[in-house]
Amino acid sequence: MSAALRITNLVKRFGGLVATDNLSFDVEDGQSVGLIGPNGAGKTTVFAQIMGEHRQTSGSIELYGREISSDSTPERIRRGVSRTYQVPRPFTDMNVLENIRVGLMPNNIWQMITAKPRYQQETEIALSVGFTETDLQKTPGELAMGDLRKLEMARTIATGTKVMLLDEVFAGLTVAEIAQITVLIQQMRQDGMTFLIVSHDLKALEPLVDKVIAINYGSKIAEGSFNEVLNDEAVRSSYLGAA
């Protein structure tokens, strides 16, 4: 049985800077994996390469046993991987439902013209990430940071993804909102979703992950259970060094 996501010897150079340094790891189907590391460790850059926003310098990225490195971003999304952004990127002049609508659309001009929006599904997704009925018609400008993160998640869910990459979904959220997103992720895990989660909020991350991978300067410094990795000497000093 091949992994849902397999990263092998991934390298990304930005000029002289090595942002990803010979990184390899697997995320099994249905597994939830935490990706941690200090600021600038290269977590977001890994996401960008998985999605094809940055082309890796070398190494391979496989999704369900199939190499996706030559696919475009929309193609990768259709194969079942999708991400959220640390800095939310909503469609600014669209309300919550319309933002989700774009994610739900088929990538086919003719179907875009003929098919009606799936209002019910849009609403379900919006409510599942914790929006209230009154939020549905609001535009991103009227939403607080926590709500923008929820919208980011909702847009990703809408693509019908099987492997979700979450980049700092808890940043700027209230305790109640974190609890709500936690419940949502747990629910989705039970339904079989695979996760790769980047979070600085380790307390929020702990209950959500089966294993954790720690990176620093783009290379893996530890991998194992949450407690193993957090107690690792190299991980501790990397966080101290960055602070």
Partner 1 sequence: MNLRLTHFLMWLAFIALMFAIPEFVSKGTLRTLIFANFLAIFAISWDVLSGRTGYISFGHPFLIGIGAYTSAILTKRFDVPIELAIPAAVAMTMVGGVVVFLPALRIKGSYFALVTLAFMELMYQLVQVIRPDLTGGTRGMSGVQTLTRGAVNGYYLSVSLMLAVALSMWLLMRTQLGTALSAVGMNEESVRGSGLSVTKLKLFAFLTSAFVAGLGGAFYVHYLGSIAPRALFDINFLFTIIVAALIGGASTIIGPVIGAFFLTFLLEYLRPYLPGAERYFIYGMIALLLYMYEPKGLIAIFSKGWQRLRGGAGSEQSSAS
Ligand X SMILES: Nc1ncnc2c1ncn2[C@@H]1O[C@H](COP(=O)(O)OP(=O)(O)OP(=O)(O)O)[C@@H](O)[C@H]1O
- Give the binding site for Mg ion (CB under 5 A): 44, 86
Q: Which is nearer to partner 1, 78 or 200 (CB)?
A: 78
> Minimum distance between the CB of residue 157 and partner 1, rounded to whole angstroms?
11
> Minimum distance between the CB of residue 22 and ligand X, rounded to whole angstroms?
15
Element (H, E) at 7: strand 5-14
Q: Which is nearer to Mg ion, 165 or 222 (CB)?
A: 165
Question: Which region, judged by CB under 6 A, interacts with ligand X, from 41-49, 76-84, 184-192, 206-214?
Answer: 41-49
> Minimum distance between the CB of residue 36 and partner 1, rounded to whole angstroms?
23
Distance of alpha carbon 31 from alpha carbon 139, whole angstroms: 34
For the chain, the first-to-last Cα distance in angstroms comes to 41
| Closest C-alpha among 22, 25, 27 to residue 5 | 27
Question: Which region, judged by CB under 6 A, interacts with ligand X, from 43-51, 112-120, 204-212, 233-241?
Answer: 43-51
- 70 belongs to the binding site for partner 1 (CB under 8 A): no
- 147 belongs to the binding site for partner 1 (CB under 8 A): no
> Minimum distance between the CB of residue 112 and partner 1, rounded to whole angstroms?
4
Q: Which member of 39, 114, 134, 190 binds partner 1 (CB under 8 A)? A: 114
Does residue 97 contact residue 141 with C-beta atoms inside 8 Å? no
- 60 belongs to the binding site for ligand X (CB under 6 A): no
Strand positions, DSSP E, 37-127 = 58-63, 66-67, 81-83
Degrees, nearest 5: CA angle 233-239-243: 140
Cα distances (Å, whole numbers) of residue 104 to 45, 101, 137, 169: 26, 5, 17, 21
The tally of CA atoms less than 13 A away on the side-chain side of residue 180 is: 17
User: Applying CB under 8 A, which residues contact partner 1?
Assistant: 51, 53, 72-74, 77-78, 82-83, 85, 89-94, 98, 101-103, 105, 107, 109, 112-117, 155, 158-159
